[in-house]
Chains A and B, each alone.
Chain A
Amino acid sequence: MDRNFSPPGKHRIKNHYVSPFLAFLTGFSLLFLFGWIGFPELLYEKQPQPIAFNHKLHTKLADRGCESCHAFRSDGSFTGVPGIENCAPCHSTVENGRSDEVRLIQDFIEKREDIPWLVYARQPDSVFFSHAAHVKSGDLVCETCHGNIGESTTPLIYEKNILTGYSRQIWGQNMVLAAGTSFFAEVRSISAREMKMDDCVDCHETHELSGGSVQTNKQGCFICHK
């Protein structure tokens, strides 16, 4: 109370300083917290998918599971995210006038434009990833890397790293743990959820896919790079 009435001069006269320790603590906690909490908020930009796609629904209807839309081409390459031509056959006309469906038909199917999906597992341009090697020869199932995306009813919010442009997380963090439960894998799965080359390397090493490079005793870079 009386503080308010006390003349401002008073304080200046008995000017007691902040103790160095307190200052240190303030500085520390401020930036420590900013680094752990504030910074990620700034780094990642939340983006909704162009259309609230329901994987669960589609996988139920589709006869060949994931491969119905995410298929191999005859030359062994992988189509990845399907083009609009995969949607057109079923979605010729508006059935339940849900805004998404209307948008799908008006903005994309009728204009014959591909839907600009935000791909969680998008790879850098310098990466050559062979689905054939992993799925056909390696006998991996989609879930190993892409997690339970197939059972999702609404797409996960896409958190875009504004510096790198990549998704904050590969669906369900499986990417990291797929590498087998090495200590570092565990740590990474908690901390950095963005996919890194180490994730590939770990997995390849646990499957003893090493050799090639004399420098690194790992596989040659061109196994996965272009």
Chain B
Amino acid sequence: MSKQTMMKKREQEKRRKFGMLIDLDRCTGCGSCMVACMSENNIPFRKDETDKLTSINWIRVFKLSNHKPFPETEICFLPMPCMHCQGKETGHTPCVSVCPVTATDYDSSTGIVSQIYSRCFGCRYCMVACPYHSRSFNWSDAVWPEGMEKMLNPQVSPRMRGVVEKCSFCYHRYQEARDKAHFEGRRNIAEEAYQTACTESCPAGAITFGDLNNPGHRIHQMVQPDLENGGRPKQKNVFRLLERLGTNPAVYYSSTRTWVRNMGDNRLLQENRQHTAAGSNLQDRRA
């Protein structure tokens, strides 16, 4: 391939910004995304995993409640991978900007925040910087029981003790897809050629993954990102977590329930009163 075409290819690549939309009305909290992620990304497991604060998870499912008494109670499950924030100004992601050794980095050609285990030296500044707690630290050496190391995925490098890890949007699948494209002399990568493990595994079809910059991709229509304003969603009922901090996540959520959307960000007391008032109109569907 000549230099010009390579340049063209890169230009066209630069425009990519991968993102995720999770439909909270569809999510049932089954946990498939978590398991699929573990088995795809060689995430270690310990004999006792009940201490969630030292447990390594690339995607966690939170259980939200409207805190009303029985039987007005409502719950909603919220899966949370790494938000792959674009940051205040592009690339100034909370974690990326603080890493002293560029072990984590924002790639403006994919919008993905990378984490390199062989570079990370475990200062955990990025974990402190991340308001979503999306990052986990390898407090101990991972141990796979006799024989189980056979199921490790060669496309993802197992981590050593003392480094930070997090969701990579299954970037290795993008590498895989690009490999194939290179081999076949193509440049474009089809939407279905690069899907994350959690997206693929969700039985409820609650997760949509794709290129936010590509009008052809479903997520673009479902979110309608305002790319001038860090990709703020224009679509009704679509929101992002902690929008006010200006982290500009690439992970979007949607729900028709007001109280759920309110859970997505912090509000001052007076604001809360208004919103809960607005939220209550949804309670009548309860017997």
Contacts and interface: CB of A to CB of B under 8 A. Distances in A.
Interface of A: 72, 75-77, 124-126, 128, 130, 132-133, 136-139, 207-209, 211-216, 219-223, 225-226
Given A132-B183, A215-B106, A222 B14 contact: no
B14 to A, nearest CB: 6
Contacts, number: 113
Contacts of B176: 75-77
Interface stretch (B21-29, B90-98, B243-251): B90-98
Interface residues of B, number: 42
15 contacts: A76-B180, A76-B181, A128-B155, A130-B175, A136-B1, A136-B185, A138-B1, A209-B6, A214-B96, A215-B102, A220-B112, A221-B105, A222-B110, A222-B174, A226-B156
A25 to B, nearest CB: 39
Given A137-B6, A220-B109, 15 more contacts: A76-B176, A77-B176, A125-B157, A126-B117, A126-B157, A130-B182, A136-B182, A209-B6, A211-B109, A213-B106, A215-B102, A216-B102, A220-B114, A222-B114, A225-B118
Contacts of A213: 91, 102, 105-108
Contacts of A219: 107, 109
Question: Most chain-B Cβ atoms within 10 A of its Cβ — which of A72, A211, A219?
Answer: A211
A211 B108 contact: yes
Interface of B: 1, 3, 6-7, 9-10, 14, 90-92, 96, 102, 105-110, 112, 114, 116-119, 155-158, 168, 171-172, 174-176, 178-185
B168 A222 contact: yes
Given A130-B175, A215-B106, A226-B175, A124 B10 contact: no
Contacts of B185: 136-137
Given A126-B157, A213-B105, A215-B96, A75 B180 contact: yes
Contacts of B9: 137
Given A77-B179, A220-B105, A125 B158 contact: yes
Given A139-B1, A225-B114, A226-B171, A215 B105 contact: yes
B107 A221 contact: yes
A17 B172 CA distance: 67
Contacts of A124: 118
Contacts of B118: 124, 126, 225
A72 B183 contact: yes
B115 to A, nearest CB: 8
B157 A214 contact: no
A72 B107 CA distance: 28
Contacts of A209: 6, 10
Contacts of B117: 126
Given A138-B1, A215-B91, A226-B171, A130 B112 contact: no
A132 B182 CA distance: 5
Contacts of A77: 176, 179
**Which 4 residue pairs of A and B lie closest in terms of their CB atoms, listed nearest first?**
A214-B91, A220-B107, A76-B183, A132-B182
A77 B182 CA distance: 10
B92 A214 contact: yes
B174 to A, nearest CB: 8
